[in-house]
Chains A and B, each alone.
Chain A
Amino acid sequence: MDAIPVFELQTVSHSYGGVQALSEVNLTVCAGEHVALIGPSGAGKSTLIGLLNGSIAPTQGTARALGHTLASMGLRERRAVQRRIGTIYQQYALVENLQVVHNVNAGNLGRWSLLRALISLFWPLDIERATDALDQVGIAEKLYARTGTLSGGQQQRVALARVLVQAPQAILADEPIASLDPERGREIIALLLDLVAQRGTTLVVSLHAVDVALACFPRVVGLRDGRIVFDCPSAQVAPTQIEELYRTHRIGIGDVA
C-alpha cells in the first residue's frame, strides 16, 4: 500500500519551559497499524500524541504526519493535513450545552464553509451522516439530546461519532478511557477497534490500563521519563518490562536525567 508512514518521529525532543517531556524519541507508525502507548503519569504520552496531531511542535527533531512536517507548514496547509487526523481526548472535549448533533457535526468543520457551519447551528444540516455515525457508536437516539445530560461513556461515544464524521485516515486517542469505569472503558476500546478495523484506519492510543493494551493491541510502546523503553508486539512484552516501566522512583524525581 502506501510507502509513506502515517506518523514518523525522528529523534524528537520536547520541553515545556525547562522541563524535558520527551527526549530523542524515534517512532514510525505505518498505515493500518494499531498501537498502544503505555507508561506512568508524566512519561510523555500526551506530549507524544500532541506531536502527532500537530498541536505541539517538537523542540528538536522532526515530526511528520501523513508525510508532512506540520510544524513548518503554513496555517492553511497544516489545517488541510490536520483534518485527515482525528483525535479523542480523556475529557471528551465536547461543548456540554450544545445538542449532540452539533458536536458530531463539528467533525465536518474542516470541510464545511463558514456559512454552512453557521446555518447548521440553527438548522442542523447533514443529519443523515450524523445519525449514521451515532448509530455506529450505539446512541443514535441521543441525536437531539443536550450533550451535558449524557453519561461519561455516552459523551465519549459522541466524541467518537465526531471523529467518524471527520472520516480521518488516522485516529489518535489520548487516555480515552481514563475517566470511565473499567467495563465502560473496555466497551469504548472494543468499539474503537471495531470501527478502525472496518475502515483500515491507523490508530494510536495512549492508555493507563496495561491489561487492555496488551490484550487488544498488536503493538505496544512503553514510555518512561520521556523515552521509549520498549516498542514491540504485545505478545513479546515481558511482565518484568511492565514492572520496570511502572517502578516508582525511590526518592522524588532527582535521578531523572
Chain B
Amino acid sequence: MRLDRQPARINPKPISLTIPRPSPLNGRNLALLFYALLLLWSLAQIDLLSGSVINGGGWPLLLRFAQGAFVPDLSPAIVLLALESALITVAYAVCGTALSLLIGIVGGLLSSERWWQTLFPQQAGRARQRYLFPWLGVRAALAGPRAIHEVIWGLLFVTVFGLDPLSAILALALPFGAITARVFAEMIDDTPRAPLHALQHSGAQPLAALCYSVVPQALPDLVGYSFYRFECAIRSATVLGLVGAGGLGYQLLLSLQSLRYEQMWTFLYALVLLSGLTDLWSGALRQRLGHGDDRESLIDCRRAPRAPRADPLVRRSLLVALVVTPLSFWYVAADWGKLVAPRSAALLADLAARAWPPRLEVAFLQELTAQAGQTLAMAVIAATLAGLGGMLLAFPAAALSRNPGHGASGLTALLTRSFLLLCRAIAEPIWALIALFVLFPGVLPGAIGLALYNLGILGRLMAETVENLDRRPLQALRALGAGEAATFAYAEVPAALPRFLAYSLYRWEVCLRATVVVGLVGAGGLGRMLGEQLARFDYRAVMTILGAFIVLTVLADLASAFLRRQLIRGA
C-alpha cells in the first residue's frame, strides 16, 4: 500500500457551503500600510543620491581606528586612568540610582491607584472622585522629567550647578526617578488584589493592610527592576561623560578628539568589560527575582515563579548595594550645598529669564521642522533595523533551549549572545561617533548608532521570549510529521511575533528620545541643533527645541499605541 497517496476528503458529501474570505481592508493591514509609508518616507530622508552621505575621506581614519583594536595602549598610566574613570562612572551610576529609587518609591506609591484606593476606600461607584486630583497631579508631575532625556537634564544642570558631580547625579536621578516611579506604580497596581481586600474587610487599617499585602507582593519586582535601573545608569553615566561629566565617556571622547586610537581602545575595552559584567550580573539577578525589565516586560505575563528571597546571589547583591552606596556618595564628593545655595537659585532664575519667550521666527521654525523630520526618520529606521535584526538573531541566541543537548547550538547561542552583549555594552553616541568616521552628519549615522545599541537590547529580550515559549504546540506539530521549517513558521513565529512587535514598537519610542544623544555628538536631527544652540547660549532657541521634542515624543507614543493596538491582538 502506498502511504503518500492523496488523503481522503474529510466529508464525503458534495460541498454545499462557501464562506466568503474576510475583506483585506482591516485595521491591521491599514496599520501595516501606515508603517510602510512611514518607513519609505524615513528612508527618503537619508537622501542617498545627493552624494553627501558617505565621506570617502574617512576610510583611512576608520582603518587606523580598527587597527587600534589590536594594539590598545596598556601602559600603566593609561590603564590606571581607565580604572579611575571607570570608578567615577560607577560611582555616578550608584548615586544616581540610589536617588532615583528614593524618588521612584515615593512617586510610585503616590501615583499608584492602589495607594489612593486603599487610603480612601469607598463603596463602588463613588470611589474615584475623592482622590482623582492628587492622583492625577502626581502622575502629571512625573510625566515632565520622564519626557526629557537625561543628557538634556545634564546640560541644564551644568548651567545651574556648574561642572560638579552634583549635575551628573541629578541628571541621572531625576528622569530615572520618574521612570522608576511609573514602573513601580504599574507593579504595585498589578499585584493581586485579593490579599489586600481580605485584610481591609477584616478591619485592618489601610497603611498596615498595604504593608502586609501590596508591599511584600511587589517587592521582588521592585528589587529586580532596581538592579536593572543600575545597569541602565552605568550606560547613561558613560553617555553623560561624553558631554563633559567625567568618567569613562569623557576619556573616550578626549582620546578620540586627539586621534589617540590606541588609548581610545583601552577605554572601550574597559567600557565593554564594565557594561558586560553589570549586564550579566543584573540579568542573573532578574532571573531570580522575576522579570523586572523595563515597561517592556510589563507588556505581558510578568508573574513568573519566584525563587525564595534567601537566594545567596540576591542576598549578597543587596549587601553589596548597602555597602557601596555610602562609599559612592563619599567618593564623588558632590557639593550638595549648591542645591540650596542662593547662587544656584539666581542662576536658575537667570536661565529661566533668558529662555523666555521661546524663539518662534519663521526661518527658525522651518529649520526646526526639517530637523524634527530627520529625527523622526532616524528613530523609524533605527527601530526597524534593530527590530528586524533582533527577530533574526533571537532564534540563534535561543538555540540551546530550542535544541537542547546539541553542541553546535550551544556555540551558536554563545556567539550570538556575545555579539548582542557587545552591541548594548557600547552606548548609542559612541556607535554614532564610529559611524561618523565614514558618514556625513545626517539621518544615517544617528540611525546606525541607535540601531546597533538597541539591537543588543531587543535581541536579548526577544531571545528570552523564544526561550519562554510554550513548547506544546511545537511538539504537537512535530508529532503530526511537520518539518523543522514548517514548525518554525506555524508554531514558533506566530507565538513570538506579538511580543516581538510590542518590544520593537516600544523601542521606537525609546529611540526617538535617544536621538538627542546621537545628535549631540554630531549625528544630526534635533539633538545636533540643540547642541549648537546650547553652545551659542541661545536658551530661547533651546526652549523651542525642547518643546518640539516633547511634541514629537507625544506624537510617537500615540502612533506607537495605535500600531500596537492594531497589530497585536489583546495588547
Contacts and interface: CB of A to CB of B under 8 A. Distances in A.
A67 interface: no
Contact of B203 (A83, A89, A97, A102): A83
B220 A82 contact: no
A146 interface: yes
A146 B208 contact: no
- Chain A interface mostly: mixed
Contact of A110 (B204, B211, B217): B204
A11 B255 CA distance: 83
Interface residues of A, number: 44
Given A94-B195, A97-B220, A148-B306, A55 B201 contact: yes
A93 to B, nearest CB: 4
B325 interface: no
A226 to B, nearest CB: 17
A235 interface: no
A95 B194 CA distance: 9
B202 interface: yes
Contacts of A105: 212
3 tightest A-B contacts by CB? A83-B203, A109-B204, A93-B198
A79 interface: yes
- Chain B interface mostly: helix
B308 interface: yes
A91 B203 CA distance: 20
Interface in B149-205: 194-195, 197-205
B213 A95 contact: yes
B219 interface: yes
Contacts of B205: 79, 109-110, 114
Contact of A75 (B121, B199, B207, B217): B121
A83 B216 contact: no
B211 A97 contact: no
B201 A54 contact: yes
Contacts of A92: 194
Interface of B: 121, 123-124, 194-195, 197-205, 207-209, 211-213, 216-217, 219-220, 306, 308-309
A125 interface: no
A215 to B, nearest CB: 28
Given A97-B220, A114-B208, 20 more contacts: A53-B201, A55-B201, A56-B123, A80-B203, A81-B203, A82-B202, A84-B203, A85-B203, A87-B202, A92-B194, A96-B217, A98-B216, A106-B212, A106-B213, A107-B202, A109-B204, A109-B208, A112-B208, A121-B212, A168-B202
Interface in A209-224: none
A118 interface: yes
Contact of B197 (A55, A83, A94, A107): A55
B212 A57 contact: no
Contacts of A13: none
A86 interface: yes
Contact of A114 (B200, B203, B207, B220): B207
